[in-house]
Amino acid sequence: MFDSLSDKLQSALDGLKGQGKLTEKDVERAAREIRLALLEADVNYKVVKEFVSRVKDRALGAEVLESLSPAHQFVKIVSDELTALMGATSTKLTFSPRPPTVVMMVGLQGSGKTTACGKLAAFLVKQGKSPALVACDVYRPAAVDQLKTLGVQLDLPVYDEGTTSDPVDIARNGVAWGREAGRDVVIIDTAGRLHIDERLMEELVKIRAQVKPHNILLVLDAMTGQDAVNVAQQFQEKVQFDGVVLTKLDGDARGGAALSVKAVTGRPIKFASTGEKLDNFDYFHPDRMASRILGMGDVLSLVERAEAAVDEKSARELEQRLRKSQFTFEDFLEQLAQVRKMGSLQSILGMIPGLPAGKLKGLQVDDSAFDRIQAIIHSMTTEERRHPELINGSRRRRIAAGAGADIQAVNQLLNQFKQMQKMMKQLGSGKMPKNPFQMMGM
């Protein structure tokens, strides 16, 4: 998501870099390019107009025109305004001091609402909570079964009364059941429609009045652009939701919904769903998203992913081995597994400052290459993994046959591993290599 917008905004800002002084004409030209970029990204017209006006007002002030680094100041202003547009700060769920906390999920059919219920439950488990799910979508075929399947995958209880009971009764009974079961969060999956109608809204209003949820989250499909904002406005008028869950942010969305919904409804984006897996779900951070859109990376999210994936004890043990200039294929396998826990390489690269998404667009990052590398290493004996220098011609042929690979792939891996060992020795001795990315080919 945001690739096209990111490219155009960075192009507009790149035109200012290297200039010792900015004129009003420079600012006007950059503002015009920013306006076109936002409109092409399907951002609401009124939102674009107000955004560009704020950027110009600030940029034409003394803080930019009289600055020693005017281009950097201009970029900072655009970053600040993008962050404010999406909500300024990350907002989190409201938890009741008396469990269970009730979360009501609403949205149109096809927005990914039921899957979002499962993802939110998985997210809360990581936060130390014990959620339960309530199936109130009695209209969509297989909606109840889908939620129950998610419950099995997550090992979480799901309350349902089939498809013949009244959804309002199911919601009320489900909350009572969750309380008796000692669950501290109850997530209610309500029904959606292909379009907004009075019957849908009336049912949601009744459920809200019956269970008095602590959080009402509107699930929006980021792929629908401004249409998602129109949907949000209508839900806000009737249901008065507290925040938005943006789904399909990993798709080819232009970004209009993410950049418009807060300004139009006054309600923040609380969560972002960025992939098909149940753990591709997290709090939405406006400042980090603005940084990524402008090609400045997202170091905080990268660090958080690393902290969640990396085993601290293993990291300390590896550090000790590196200090002794020891690095084996077994160490490499362990590191590979931890990197893969962080997500796809494409998403990780997009968080690194200086590697903007637009410039990575043509780069083909094949995560399945990891599978081939692992297969080759697993075909080695324990002794070979610990002492790669033992691997001669006949052993290479045996390893290749065992991994279903050709001999060239084995040779390439061994050669690259030698380079990596050299780099690790430099790290162990406290010396950084001149080119720390020399092993990217692996």
Q: What residues have CB less than 8 Å from 422, skipping those under 6 apart? A: 433
Instruction: Tell me the one-letter amino acid at 166.
Output: D
d(CA 306, CA 434): 24
CATH of span 101-296: 3.40.50.300
379-395 average pLDDT score: 89
3-class secondary structure, 324? coil
Q: What is the pLDDT of residue 308?
A: 54
Instruction: Tell me the one-letter amino acid at 202.
Output: E
Alpha-helical (H) ranges within 88-225 are 113-126, 143-154, 167-180, 198-211
Cα–Cα nearest to 336, from 411, 413, 435, 274 = 413
Q: Hey, which residues does 135 pair with through a beta bridge?
A: 189
Core vs surface per residue 170-205: b (16+ CB within 10 A) or e:
bbbebbebbbeeebbbbbbbbbbbeeeeeebbebbe
Is the per-residue pLDDT at 320 higher than 90? Answer: no
> pLDDT over 70 for what percent of the chain?
76
Q: What is the pLDDT of residue 343?
A: 60
pLDDT in tens, 264-290: 888 889 998 887 888 888 888 888 887
pLDDT in tens, 160-210: 998 889 999 999 999 999 999 999 999 999 998 777 788 888 999 999 999
Answer yes or no: CATH 1.20.120.140 is held by domain 3-86: yes
C-beta of residue 233 within 8 angstroms of C-beta of residue 265: yes
For the domain made up of 302-428, the CATH class stated in words is: mainly alpha
- CB count within 10 Å of CB 163 equals 17
Mean pLDDT of the chain: 80
Q: Domain limits of the chain?
A: 3-86, 101-296, 302-428
- The DSSP secondary-structure symbol of 224 reads G
Q: Torsion over CA of 85, 89, 91 and 97, rounded to 10 degrees?
A: -150
Q: Let me know the angle formed at the C-alpha of 215 by 277 and 278, rounded to the nearest 5 degrees.
A: 5
Q: Judge whether 3-86 and 302-428 match in fold.
A: no
Is the per-residue pLDDT at 87 higher than 70? Answer: yes
> Of 99-108, 187-196, 419-428, which has the strongest mean pLDDT?
99-108
Does the pTM surpass 0.75? The reply is no
What tokens were used for 175? Answer: 């909350």
Q: Hey, which residues does 221 pair with through a beta bridge?
A: 247
Between the alpha carbon of residue 139 and those of residues 146, 165, 194, the distances in Å are 13, 11, 12
pLDDT in tens, 49-65: 999 999 888 887 765 55
147-162 average pLDDT score: 94
